[in-house]
Amino acid sequence: MTDSDPRRTYGDHVAVLQARAAEALARGGLDHLVIPSGRAHMQLFDDREYPFAVNPQFKAWVPLTRAPGSWIVVTPGERPKLVYLQPVDYWHVVPEAPSGAWTEHLEVVIVRTADAARSHLPRDPARCAVLGEPGSALGDMVPNNPRPVLDYLDYHRAYKTPYEVAMLRAASQLAVRGHRAAECAFRAGASEFGIHLAYCQAVGQDAAELPYGNIVALDTHGAVLHYTGQQRVAPAPARSFLIDAGASHSGYASDITRSHAADTGSEFQALIDAVDIAQQAMCLQVRAGRDYRQLHLDAHLALAGVLREFGVLRMSAEAAVATGVSSAFFPHGLGHGIGLQVHDVGGFMASDTGGTIDRPDGHPHLRLTRVLEAGMVVTIEPGIYFIDMLLEPLRRCAVADGIDWDRVAAFLPYGGIRIEDDVVCTEDAPVNLTREAFAAA
Domain ranges, ordered by start, for the chain: 6-156, 162-440
CA 228 to CA 297: how far, in whole Å? 28
Pairing relationship of beta strands 416-418 and 383-385 according to DSSP bridges: antiparallel
Whether residue 198 is predicted with pLDDT greater than 90 in this model: the reply is yes
CA 159 to CA 77: how far, in whole Å? 23
Common-topology check for domains 6-156 and 162-440: no
**Helices vs. strands in the chain: H and E counts, helices first:** 12, 17
pLDDT tens column, 381-427 = 999 999 999 999 999 999 999 999 999 999 999 999 999 999 999 99
Q: What is the H or E stretch that residue 178 is in?
A: helix 162-187
Tell which CATH classification among 3.40.50.2300, 3.30.1490.190, 3.90.230.10, 3.40.50.300 matches the domain 162-440. 3.90.230.10
Q: Which CATH class is domain 6-156?
A: alpha beta
CA 274 to CA 252: how far, in whole Å? 31
pLDDT tens column, 247-283 = 999 999 999 999 999 999 999 999 999 999 999 999 9
* pLDDT at position 1: 31
3-state per-residue secondary structure call for 26-87: HHHCCCEEEEECCCCCECCCCCCECCCCCCHHHHCCCCCCCCCCCEEEECCCCCCEEEEECC
Nearest to 160 by CA among 304, 305, 20, 311: 20
What sign results for the dihedral spanned by CA atoms 147, 21, 131, 138?
A: negative
Q: What is the DSSP letter of 400?
A: G
Strand partners, 108: 82
At 234, is the secondary structure helix, strand, or coil? coil
Backbone angles phi, psi at 383, to 5 degrees: -150, 155
pLDDT tens column, 21-31 = 999 999 999 99
pTM: 0.97
- Cβ of 293: how many Cβ atoms within 10 Å? 20
Nearest to 27 by CA among 118, 114, 156: 156
Query: By percentage, how much of the chain surpasses pLDDT 90?
Result: 96
Pairing relationship of beta strands 248-249 and 252-253 according to DSSP bridges: antiparallel
